[in-house]
Structure 1
């Protein structure tokens, strides 16, 4: 069932039920009011007749042996005057066999000649004055009044349902426009949806859908970027590996062994590039999930990063905040720090140490990596976090050999941004670089 039909059915039934309850209450009140009004009319008629009779001489009825006055029967109304001895002095319906005698003064219901009557008896100076209404006439009057009242009621109810139908159609028009907008879109159209004069109740849904479209667009862009990056970066290593393997099969044992060694180095670089690409894709997508249940200290992060480095003995660590705890996942924090240290070791001269300082700055834990590498003091550091930008200027072993995937610092910047941290660079006075990685702390204590 559509939303329009559901609303119309629910509201229509509710309106009909409320109107019927109101009609039943009004009908009951109307019946009672009409009964009271007609009874008051009977009583007033009897008192009016009593007033007229009171103006006659006192002996006017003494010699009456039969009704003094008998008038033709009127429609549904009767009147009778009886003497103190029970003799009928006047009545309007002479054909009544039993007359209009009432058992007691006041109101009473009687069946006379097969018809129901409503009687009122008033006693004055011994005279019994009785007025009566035929109940069928009352029922006819009530029916006519109800018909007159019901027709406007039914028209108003039907009009309300029609107005309700048009109101629901108009109220749900923005949903129809939204459906039309979505149905006309191409599958790759991810621009935000704009609905003119959208009601406030629909605006949150449109905003949520637009945010979903933005996230979907970002996810598609990441996937396309990952595919493009992988195709761009893996083509050359795969070609080189294939070439080395072919040379190894054609050359002699000595030169073939060198070609196999070059192929293995290419495979290692290819594996490292793939790992970096996958890690970057997971960090940028926001769904990098790691099983570390407990936060790690800055010293623990540094130890995990150094454990994965082949030249860890060249790194000098100065832990100035041994109680600092990192709020970011330890696996990501150690990966970011490892990439920073790898970059510093790659561009520093052979045997030159690299320093790592761990300190706190407010609520941040700061890892500072200093090297005496090949970065000039007057060169801008803006391009350091660009994808696949290697920019070697000569001087370090890594720079000379062309090692590295060009993704290490990009990953560090992505991890820092992912957890509200910061990555900053500063050239050193002579040569080299200072890299500062700030990550949110979970509270720093001094031991």
Structure 2
């Protein structure tokens, strides 16, 4: 897999802003150019009309007979008038529809400028195109003209005056944007420097960027991540220390019993030696069983705590009651294998509601295996400490709520020695046992609590008279169509 090239926020900012400015200014420039070109042509056409009207008014002050009799070259007075505003102009007298007598003209106007009908026109003379305007009034015809290439030069001059400031402004904007982007990204640089200089395993919150509105959420998320990592590392340190301490005791006992058996068998000087060796080996075997059970629960706890929070599987409908029944069956089988003395019947299990169809409307955000594991650990703990002739009570109850699907509660009660309110809080910690001689490894309730927390539920222990009551409450969810299909 090829690595993606690194991208620069500063370069993207400058290029994005430059592209935006170019697009906006280009649109404005095109609109201004089109509008300017139309208005400039209208202005020059109006100039031709105004010049023609002015010349007609002046020519009409002369006597037409005198103008017609005088040679065209001798009309100096008239030439000075029509060439005053610099517009190419030709003055003619109209004698008939086909007889037009030019009487004065400027040197920069093409021949036959006054030919054709009145109004605007276009002629080509000497390879140049001209825009003409012809005005006829009381026998006097005046033609004014402009060269189209001169008009185009005016448009090009305007375009240059428009483009040059744009290019200069764009260059200045790029420089200013680069400078401002560099200054604006300095908090990121300070954040990077602080993270580079931070020693390993330093959980203190990051300070750089907390005063920048855009960086504050990122820094807060980073600090939360550091806090979770520190809590996880501390959790692992405690877990390792507790596990090592818990496993050291059975290992020491196993080693002691094996040494006793070895010494007894080595001596072999009386008839009681085989019995003492067998007893030592039996106690070593019990220690091995205890250590094996502890390791199994440690692995189970590790699997629960490392389970993905985004696991999509859930226990739907009748699967909730099935997991409850499976847990009851597994706990009874395990108690029988361990030789625990139980009353008859050992377990009183109840499902409320008892109708399987009533469970179809809800689901629990837990895989069936984890749900069964939690219930199994609760019942195992109750059977291990139970005393008296009454059976252990286990109840699965769905409590509906008007605001939603409600909660599913698993309640397990035994009639053993019980716990005080303070001990009930301590019992949820890892490896806690009421006494060193108490059965179990002290991990069962911890596993149940972690499973409950993964589903946003709770586990509470309450002293009962007699015994102990454990309540596992899990929030129920409405069954979706996809979950129903599964």
**Among 392, 401, 404, which residue is 2:440 paired with?**
404
Measure the CA separation in 2 of the matches of 1:97 and 1:193. 84
Instruction: Name the counterpart of 2:36.
Output: 30
Single out whichever of 263-272 and 95-104 deviates more from structure 2. Answer: 95-104
Measure the CA separation in 2 of the matches of 1:224 and 1:4. 43
Residue pair 2:250, 2:287 contacting (<8 A) in 1 also: yes
Mapping of residues 2-401 of structure 1, within 5 Å: 2-70=8-76, 71=79, 77-84=87-94, 85-93=99-107, 98=111, 100-113=113-126, 115-166=128-179, 168-169=181-182, 172-194=185-207, 195-200=209-214, 205-252=218-265, 253-287=274-308, 295-297=319-321, 298-310=324-336, 311=340, 313-314=342-343, 315-319=346-350, 321=352, 322-323=354-355, 327=364, 328-348=366-386, 354-358=391-395, 360=397, 362=399, 363-373=407-417, 375=418, 381-392=424-435, 401=437
Residue pair 1:78, 1:133 contacting (<8 A) in 2 also: yes
Instruction: State the shift of 1:412 in Å.
Output: 3.2
Instruction: State the shift of 1:307 in Å.
Output: 2.2
Residue pair 1:385, 1:413 contacting (<8 A) in 2 also: yes
> What count of residue pairs does the alignment treat as equivalent?
429
- After TM superposition, the score normalised by the length of structure 1 is 0.81
Measure the CA separation in 2 of the matches of 1:371 and 1:92. 128
Measure the CA separation in 2 of the matches of 1:385 and 1:65. 127
Residue pair 2:458, 2:474 contacting (<8 A) in 1 also: yes
Instruction: Name the counterpart of 2:461.
Output: 424
Instruction: State the shift of 1:45 in Å.
Output: 0.4
Measure the CA separation in 1 of the matches of 2:203 and 2:216. 18
Residue pair 1:316, 1:354 contacting (<8 A) in 2 also: yes
Partner secondary structure for residue 427 of structure 2: helix
Partner secondary structure for residue 161 of structure 1: helix
Measure the CA separation in 2 of the matches of 1:156 and 1:114. 40
Measure the CA separation in 2 of the matches of 1:36 and 1:435. 98
Measure the CA separation in 2 of the matches of 1:379 and 1:162. 69
Residue pair 2:383, 2:392 contacting (<8 A) in 1 also: no
Instruction: Name the counterpart of 1:415.
Output: 451
Residue pair 1:308, 1:338 contacting (<8 A) in 2 also: no
Measure the CA separation in 2 of the matches of 1:170 and 1:379. 58
User: Gaps (5+ residues) in structure 1?
Assistant: 393-398
Instruction: State the shift of 1:12 in Å.
Output: 1.3
Instruction: State the shift of 1:22 in Å.
Output: 2.5
Residues 154, 24 of structure 1: CA spacing in aligned structure 2 closer, same or farther, 3 A cutoff? same
Instruction: State the shift of 1:129 in Å.
Output: 1.0
- After TM superposition, the score normalised by the length of structure 2 is 0.75
Residue pair 1:76, 1:134 contacting (<8 A) in 2 also: no
Residues 170, 89 of structure 1: CA spacing in aligned structure 2 closer, same or farther, 3 A cutoff? same
